[in-house]
A and B are shown apart, each in its own frame.
Chain A
């Protein structure tokens, strides 16, 4: 369910907008995650996707992140992922996306 998949975003004092996704980012949910990220990027200069609640990340999920990253770059905005762990972290590292997306260990690293 969308309400459980994507949490309400919160804005940090330093301008970062952090939004959390839970459960899975796969073929079924990737589009929804992308659309939500698209909305948040449109109104925020610095956007961080908190993946600490993501248990599974498929290639469709990686593509969604790549698209959001490209969208941010086009608008001269920043996009990163934080808190990935477990399988998603491994996927990001295996695909080299952790470097490309400037992945951070936790939200604290944004502050």
Chain B
């Protein structure tokens, strides 16, 4: 597309559209990029925010779950420890009561307790068991009778305590001497307790039971490890030694099957969704909600040696009395294990929750948060997409408006220009009456006004020009007439003298303007005398020509009025005075005036400030030219009122020639400003003015040489020449 070849309307439209489109595209690109960037940033931020929130929430939930698990472990440990400590306290109280009774035998009456013989015996009732040895010695040993009778006073306390434990708990005191008094607790709904077979067969020996040995050895209340009861159940016992007279007399104990103990623990709201267990210092599970598997109660399985590395490591920490929450693998499944020590009984309580149960909610929260974040991102994406569509539609609308407005603006701008152009073309065709009526209020209107003014001025100018042309034509006509008149005043009567036997005369005058200030004249004063005049009036044009007419008339009158013997100088003085009168403009004229006596060849002349003529002396067919200059110069005529003029005389011989001229000849200037000069005139005369040529030919050749010198330069002065050759008497 070549914009230079477009019309102005298309150019403006092109420029407007180009500018508008460029701006529009830049704004659109920036807007869309910004929108896209905003979308990307927002989505990225949304994702990051969701991820951060999800991670934080997940972490927080996991930590909360772990803390809750830890708190639960602490709480359960405290609960179990409290229960066991209560039992241990009861056992200690029982031992202290027994010690008190045995230390005050005189105060307590002898009592007799029955020895059961049935497998089912009523619960919460104290019985006595005698080992075979004790039974054999008892009838015969009053001290033993006394001792047993006193010890039987513990029966109410045993029965009371057994009622406190509504489980298969057994409360008892076992004497070093071989008897044992006990009362069995009952589980809810039971009315009788089972009497172990070893009791019936009198094969039971308390002195070898773990709890007895432990309490006797420790000399203080103890909680036994898990052991197998005589009934074949796993149980633990809280036992404490009692004394008789300061001497170890036996052990008081409360034995609880683990099931029963766990039932007690369960009653304390241990929770059902988790695995709970207690570990003793040996790493054996002493309590557990698991009946089978790794975490089932076991009297001889040390968890610290478990094949599960994580479990073994945490079991060691539990056995060492530490507390923590850790991830362990039990029976191939991952659990969070929280454990807390029970220092007073040397156990550690652990609670296990499946990993998913801990992390699951956190994951669920994370999933929820991420899901919401995705929804947010989707909404955000929809929002940006919607905005993108709206912006695209808006941009298309703006583009359409831009094109429409640009076309209208271009047309609106160009219409006055086109009107202006059409108007100017009409005016250019010559319709100067055409007026441009453009009211845009801008530079176009100003231009139209200027064109209207120019048209008015042009019209006036053309009117004036027509008038001026008419005036000029009139003046030219008048000047032409004046030129004709002036030429008419100059003697054109060469035929009058053409056949004169005494002289050959010719003269010419070419004015620089229509009318000139030069003139020549010749006329006969009488039969023998010929008057010659050549003059140059200062200045050119009409004033000079008028002064020329006056000068010529005055000079001729003076010449014709003077007598034959009159002095030419005097004649010139008269003429000068007449011309000086009222000559405020200081016009003057240089005059060469001479009178030739055709009979004698005497030539009288007066040179009033004029160029010195050239005289050509001819001898032997050769003419020698020289200047006819005078030593004393005369003033030009009209300048100095009382000027005195001297007459000169020379004599011409036949063949001699006089060449008189004005300064228009010698001062003719070429294009380089060079004058023709006197020297060149003299040389030209020497070359062309030979005796065989008449005056007319010589003047023509001189004029041709001057014209050659001037070339194309404008003529600046009148060129006037007069030549006369004396032919003789």
Q: Which residues of A contact B (CB under 8 A)?
A: 26-27, 30, 56, 58-60, 62-63, 66-67, 70, 87, 93-97, 100
Bound together, the chains give a CA A60 to CA B541 distance in angstroms of 12
Those of B606-638 within 8 Å (CB) of chain A: 609, 611-612, 633-636
Is the beta-carbon distance between B538 and A96 smaller than 8 angstroms? no
Interface string of B529-564 (1 = CB under 8 A from A): 000000011111000000000000000000000000
Distance in angstroms between the alpha carbons of A35 and B640 in the assembled complex: 22
Could you tell me if B586 and A59 are in contact, using CB atoms closer than 8 angstroms? no
CB pair B539–A59 under 8 Å, yes or no, is yes
Residues from chain A with Cβ under 8 Å of B635 in the complex:
95-97, 100
For the complex, give the distance between the alpha carbons of A27 and B543 in Å: 13
A5 and B640 CA atoms in complex are apart in Å by 28
B588's partner among A27, A66, A87, A93 (CB-CB below 8 A) is: A66
Nearest Cβ on chain A to B268's Cβ, whole angstroms? 131
CB-CB under 8 A for A66 and B586, given A56-B667, A95-B609, A100-B640: yes
Q: Which residues of B are found within 8 Å of A70, using beta-carbon distances? A: 586
A-binding residues in B (CB < 8 A): 536-540, 585-588, 590, 609, 611-612, 633-636, 639-640, 643, 663, 667, 675, 716-717
Interchain Cβ contacts under 8 Å between A and B, 8 examples:
A59-B536, A59-B539, A59-B588, A60-B540, A63-B539, A95-B639, A96-B633, A100-B639
Minimum Cβ distance to chain A for residue B716 (Å): 7
Give the A-B pair count, Cβ closer than 8 A. 59
| Cβ contacts under 8 Å, A100 to chain B | 635, 639-640
Instruction: Give, as a whole number of angstroms, the nearest-CB distance from A67 to chain B.
Output: 4
Q: Let me know if B585 and A96 touch, CB within 8 A.
A: no
B639 x A59 contact (CB < 8 A) = no
**How far is A63 from B702 in the complex, measured between Cα atoms in Å?**
28
Supply 17 further A-B pairs (C-beta < 8 A) apart from A59-B538, A63-B587.
A56-B675, A58-B667, A58-B717, A59-B536, A59-B588, A62-B538, A66-B588, A67-B585, A67-B586, A70-B586, A94-B611, A95-B636, A96-B609, A96-B633, A96-B640, A97-B635, A97-B639
In the complex, the answer to whether B663 meets A59 with C-beta atoms within 8 Å is yes
Contact A27 B540 (CB under 8 A): yes
Whether A96 contacts B667 by the Cβ 8 Å rule is: no
Least distance between A39 CB and chain B CB atoms (Å): 18
Query: How far in angstroms is the closest Cβ of chain A from B513?
Result: 10
A27 to B512, CA, bound (A): 11
Least CB distance from A28 to B in Å reads: 8
- Given A58-B663, A70-B586, A94-B609, A27:B636 Cβ within 8 A: no
CB distance from A84 to the nearest CB of B (A): 15
Contacts of B586 in A (CB 8 A): 63, 66-67, 70
Contact residues in B for A63 (Cβ distance below 8 Å): 538-539, 586-588
B residues in contact with A56, CB < 8 Å: 667, 675
> B640 to A94, Cβ gap below 8 A?
no
Bound Cα distance from A87 to B588, whole angstroms? 20
| Complex contacts, B717 vs chain A, CB 8 Å | 27, 58
- On chain A, the residues within 8 Å of B536 by CB distance are 59
Q: Per a CB cutoff under 8 Å, which of B636, B663, B675, B716 touches A96?
A: B636
- Decide if A60 touches B539 in the complex (CB within 8 Å): yes
Bound together, the chains give a CA A61 to CA B479 distance in angstroms of 25
Q: Which residue of the partner chain, among B537, B587, B611, B716, contacts A26 with CB atoms under 8 Å? A: B716
Cβ contact within 8 Å between B716 and A27? yes
Nearest CB on B from A56, distance (A): 7
Nearest-neighbour CB distance to chain A for B159, whole angstroms, equals 155
Q: Is the CB of B633 within 8 A of A95?
A: yes
**Which listed residue, A26, A60, A93, A95, touches B590 by the CB 8 Å rule?**
A95
Bound state CA distance, A87 and B612, in angstroms?
14
Known A-B contacts A95-B635, A96-B633; the reply to A60 vs B538 at CB < 8 A is yes
CA distance A60 to B587 in the complex (A): 9
